[in-house]
């Protein structure tokens, strides 16, 4: 609920237009027929409310946030953590710069914390450790933005 409160508090009119095509959210879509679960990337948002709901669905961990998936616009979603970015189409235009951010230390991510114990997803560490992780992420992002982009192969 803390994440949802923050999203609602800091949203502004038309925010969905700013993030459309720039922010890609990885989620696990639950289906009633095979394959039952599949990775889905969303990067278009019709309004602020849908953007908030999709962001909340992207962190809906089964068992912790409830047994049933989060329903957004008639589709059912869980957290996208079960999908490696290798299996999901993160493609953009050739000149796009895609930044992969992981909250749990995903190996293929550009910005990520050091490998953290998996139980921290459920039972967070002390506040001083969380502050350290926050600043580590801040410094990782700073380093990423200071590094010149890789040259695209022709």
Closest CA to 49 of 13, 22, 1: 13
Q: Cα separation of 134 and 140, whole Å?
A: 10
Return the axis-axis angle of helices 48-57 and 2-10, rounded to nearest 10°.
Answer: 160
* pLDDT of 29 over the 80 cut: yes
Q: Supply the Cα-derived Rg of the chain in whole angstroms.
A: 16
Instruction: Please state which of the ranges 46-50, 55-59, 101-105, 130-134 shows the lowest mean pLDDT.
Output: 101-105
Closest CA to 111 of 151, 59, 153, 146: 146
pTM of the model: 0.69
* pLDDT of 27 over the 90 cut: no
Residue 120 is predicted with a pLDDT of 81
Alpha helical stretches, state H, the chain: 2-10, 15-19, 48-57, 127-146
Task: Tell me what the pLDDT averaged over the chain comes to.
Answer: 82
Please state the separation of Cα 81 from the chain's center in Å. 9
Sort strands 75-79 and 70-72 into parallel, antiparallel or unpaired: antiparallel
pLDDT for 117-130, tens place per residue?
A: 878 877 888 999 98
∠ CA 153-140-120 to the nearest 5 degrees?
120
Q: How confident is the model at residue 113 (pLDDT cuts 50, 70, 90)?
A: confident
Count other C-beta atoms under 10 Å from residue 60's C-beta.
Answer: 20
When comparing pLDDT for 40 and 54, which is higher? 54
Residues 6 or more apart in contact with residue 22 via CB below 8 angstroms: 43
Answer yes or no: are the C-beta atoms of 81 and 63 closer than 8 Å: no
Q: How confident is the model at residue 88 (pLDDT cuts 50, 70, 90)?
A: low
Q: How confident is the model at residue 45 (pLDDT cuts 50, 70, 90)?
A: very high
Answer yes or no: are the C-beta atoms of 77 and 57 closer than 8 Å: yes
């Amino acid at each position: 609920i803390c994440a949802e409160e923050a999203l609602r508090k800091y949203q502004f009119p038309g925010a969905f237009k700013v993030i459309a095509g720039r922010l890609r959210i990885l989620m696990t879509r639950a289906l009633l027929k095979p394959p039952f679960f599949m990775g889905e990337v969303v990067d278009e948002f019709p309004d602020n409310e849908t953007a908030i709901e999709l962001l909340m669905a992207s962190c809906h961990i089964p068992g912790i946030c409830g047994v049933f998936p989060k329903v957004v616009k008639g589709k059912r979603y869980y957290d996208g953590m079960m999908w490696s970015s290798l299996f999901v189409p993160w493609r953009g235009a050739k000149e796009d710069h895609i930044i992969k951010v992981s909250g749990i230390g995903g190996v293929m991510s550009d910005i990520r914390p050091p490998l953290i114990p998996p139980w921290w997803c459920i039972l967070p560490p002390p506040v001083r450790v969380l502050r350290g992780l926050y600043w580590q992420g801040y410094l990782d992002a700073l380093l990423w933005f200071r590094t010149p982009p890789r040259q695209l192969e022709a």
